[in-house]
Chains A and B, each alone.
Chain A
């Protein structure tokens, strides 16, 4: 094709292979940030308007909702922010921040969300939809077993994507830019022709591929409304970014997945940008303008959610995760000038929770980039860091992070999101004969209650294993049902169109409360724990008679317990066949739901009182890590990633500026060393907040003083003001590593 003439390599021209295109054409950049430019006039105008809209949205929670049209790739009129100043165009609906109604996941959820913000779905639309269409949510509840409903009701298994879009899929949106829609359609048609052996699986696949082809056609139409013909490959930097964004835009017009990440685009964009600069048709200012405006679009992504959803995942997150950096092989990194340009958006248009900028860290990354990225992290508390040296051997060098910590090989893998089990309840059910300590419901049968006054490790462990085995089975059943129904009633054809026809599926299970369970076992073993029970005979308090080692102090006596526990869980999950032949993975990640989990969970043998929040992700329990930051980091680094928690191990690290160093230059150097050390020890993920606790307390009491304060919570960044009071208090209660 004529659009490809400027580019090297052949492999990618014959088959869809974006990775090969990048390897054959990108230019690594190892120098510093001095080339970067500021905000352009056009971007200032566009962002100025957005800021006003965002401020209005912050007051009401929702700026506007389209209630007469339902979700779909090409269902909406064009929309602009400031048409003459926008160099990247396209909005979800016909106006910025106007949200879409997506009833396919579940209609009840839609109505609840609308009601909460004072809107109503157009009556006729609702009646017709109800009459002719069944939803994912309806399907799931037709199939759910009694055991699943009970586990769900008692918060043993929570956050299941059974009433809204499952998300976590990353289409390889770059494909639209590199190949154009027509090439992709042809390729899908070829795949379809080859599926000839007819059985239940292939019938479904044939239907899905046909849906994907229709989606690609609709994407062409949608882009044409904005005046772009995406049937052919992109010819310039502007087009490459625009095409990629259109492909992503189709995903968020059609679906409302909890996390809809955008992939790993900077080396790809950089190839086009550098080519245009070389040709003299693009300046550095214009290149930055393209990236700034691309990021503005990502900051405006919205979905309609209920207030309860917000309690789980605070701050209206969309997880538009963009992965940056990483290595290509042992010598060359994938750091380009555009890696710098995208971080420079934080300078040009200020700090922001989205997109979820994720640095794929390797000790071998160019020093200049390490310094720049850590400097931006210290300045804005909006970046997360993940271990490229750990993930690259498993996922290859063209993977991206979905949501917070889930790696996916772009275009080749996708994920069935599975929320998490409340691991603490597994332990409490072991103590209480399978009964829920809050409701008294018998959730897991066949467990003999423990009756003695003091807890014995062996006795507890025997029951714990039984509860865990039964919980794992229920959990697997629930996810198999959910993803079967989601494919059936809310299939994401626009995203699947940018994946291989037979992708590998990962089923992402999750665990909340690891620190509490590990500490509880340690307390039972070393602390001589005495049980107190209520009138129903269920545990409601624990006395610990001796000090015991706690997770977060680099003490193997308890860190080994934590490690062993996650291995046990994974072993149980691996026992069952999964929908579409998916491979199970496991994460330690809570987002902000650690607060709600705690609320629904009774007192625990580690001394935690009923209702107290869990620590987020794989973090040690708030205040338990008393041997300093490295001890805390080292405990988390011991949790096994490979062949166990391959869906990610989230750790959030807060340190005061003074503890990190006396001046900014020292802080940057020190943070680079901390990250190098942490990731060399085999750890997976780190959120970094360089902040004074007092600042957060002040922000909690005087929100108006800090309209833009953004912090990292478990797996994403959030505007501090958008957290609930309880969530703010939990964040403040976390261990802040201070100067000694």
Chain B
């Protein structure tokens, strides 16, 4: 009997309607190398969880929802950082593709094991890539890490010509200004095959989780991003000129 790889899962959301096209089964994987200041899922940071599953168990779970996901939907691997368990992720992607399930990777483009990356991208139909910042200094401030891994990931998605949705979280006082959006707009042009760029408003709904986990919250005093302002910035970003 084939031995299937095991990995750590945080949770499975059976109806994701905003993480990729159509109805998505979202697999929230455990572990992340980044420590983004705005992160609302700190419970996914550490490398292990009590929920250990095999690739087969997960793909079987996804298959249960075929009637819902076969019409333009599929699976989204999210996290945490799904690339953080690269080998395990690759096995699941292959199994999904074999089963005819559309695959999407919701990632910040870091934490991967280099030797699996190209193959992972080969079995991924859509990459939703979270842009934290567009240059090293701010990237480090926001994520706590260097931008090097992200830049390499960026190069590989371009080479593999993956379909891309780009996302950027907008945080009041940090990047909620027109100047930044204009720079971002230029930066987006350096990717291939971008289908859509979304701005996500920072929100404070994660604070409770930090309290529970006894982790210090680093954005105290910063309010939720104003929706109207966010819409205006989105208009600037997506306008033709």
CB contact under 8 A between A631 and B67, given known A673-B22, A673-B23, A674-B23: no
| Interface pair B12/A677, CB less than 8 Å apart | no
Q: Does A737 contact B (CB under 8 A)?
A: yes
| Interface pair B65/A677, CB less than 8 Å apart | yes
| Interface pair A673/B64, CB less than 8 Å apart | no
Which of under 10, 10 to 19, 20 to 34, or 35 or more describes the interface residues of B? 20 to 34
0/1 string, A645-668, CB within 8 A of B gives 1:
000000000000011111000100
- Which chain A residues border B11 with CB–CB below 8 Å? 627
Secondary structure of the A contact surface, majority rule: helix
| Interface pair A674/B68, CB less than 8 Å apart | yes
Secondary structure of the B contact surface, majority rule: mixed
Q: Does B82 contact A (CB under 8 A)?
A: no
- Which chain A residues border B23 with CB–CB below 8 Å? 630, 670, 673-674, 677
Name the CB-closest residue of A to B69.
Answer: A677
Report how far A575 CA is from B141 CA in the complex, Å: 73
Name the CB-closest residue of B to A662.
Answer: B18
| Interface pair A680/B67, CB less than 8 Å apart | yes
| Interface pair A677/B68, CB less than 8 Å apart | yes
CB contact under 8 A between A673 and B73, given known A630-B68, A661-B17: yes
Q: Does B14 contact A (CB under 8 A)?
A: yes
Chain A, 658-715, CB within 8 A of any chain B CB: 658-662, 666, 670, 673-674, 676-678, 680-681
0/1 string, B51-71, CB within 8 A of A gives 1:
000000000000011011101
Chain A, 513-569, CB within 8 A of any chain B CB: 554
- Which chain B residues border A659 with CB–CB below 8 Å? 15, 17-18
Q: Does B25 contact A (CB under 8 A)?
A: yes
CB contact under 8 A between A740 and B13, given known A630-B23, A673-B23: yes
Chain B, 1-40, CB within 8 A of any chain A CB: 11-18, 22-23, 25-26, 28
Report how far A680 CA is from B66 CA in the complex, Å: 10
| Interface pair B14/A554, CB less than 8 Å apart | yes
Identify which of A628, A658, A666 contacts B15 (C-beta below 8 A). Answer: A628
Q: Does B72 contact A (CB under 8 A)?
A: yes
| Interface pair A676/B17, CB less than 8 Å apart | no
CB contact under 8 A between A627 and B67, given known A670-B17, A673-B23, A673-B72: no
Report how far A665 CA is from B57 CA in the complex, Å: 34
- Cβ of B72 to closest chain A Cβ, rounded Å: 7
- Which chain B residues border A627 with CB–CB below 8 Å? 11-14
Name the CB-closest residue of A to B61.
Answer: A554
Name the CB-closest residue of A to B65.
Answer: A630
- Which chain B residues border A673 with CB–CB below 8 Å? 22-23, 68, 71-73
Q: Does A338 contact B (CB under 8 A)?
A: no
| Interface pair B15/A737, CB less than 8 Å apart | yes
| Interface pair A630/B15, CB less than 8 Å apart | yes
- Which chain A residues border B22 with CB–CB below 8 Å? 670, 673
Name the CB-closest residue of A to B66.
Answer: A677
| Interface pair A628/B18, CB less than 8 Å apart | no
0/1 string, A554-590, CB within 8 A of B gives 1:
1000000000000000000000000000000000000
Report how far A666 CA is from B21 CA in the complex, Å: 10
Report how far A554 CA is from B67 CA in the complex, Å: 14
Name the CB-closest residue of B to A682.
Answer: B67
Q: Does A629 contact B (CB under 8 A)?
A: yes
Identify which of A631, A678, A739 contacts B14 (C-beta below 8 A). Answer: A631
- Which chain A residues border B68 with CB–CB below 8 Å? 630, 673-674, 676-678
| Interface pair B64/A554, CB less than 8 Å apart | yes
Q: Does A242 contact B (CB under 8 A)?
A: no
| Interface pair A634/B64, CB less than 8 Å apart | yes
- Which chain B residues border A681 with CB–CB below 8 Å? 67
Closest 10 CB pairs of A and B: A677-B68, A628-B14, A630-B14, A629-B15, A680-B67, A677-B67, A631-B14, A628-B13, A630-B15, A740-B13
Where the two chains meet, the residues of B that have a C-beta atom closer than 8 Å to any C-beta of A are 11-18, 22-23, 25-26, 28, 64-65, 67-69, 71-73
A-B contact pairs, 18 of them (CB 8 A): A554-B14, A627-B12, A628-B15, A630-B65, A658-B18, A659-B18, A666-B17, A670-B17, A670-B23, A673-B22, A674-B23, A677-B65, A677-B68, A677-B69, A678-B68, A681-B67, A740-B13, A740-B16
15 new A-B contacts at CB < 8 Å, known A670-B17, A676-B67, A677-B67: A554-B14, A627-B14, A628-B13, A628-B15, A629-B15, A631-B14, A632-B14, A658-B18, A673-B68, A673-B71, A676-B68, A678-B68, A739-B18, A740-B13, A740-B26
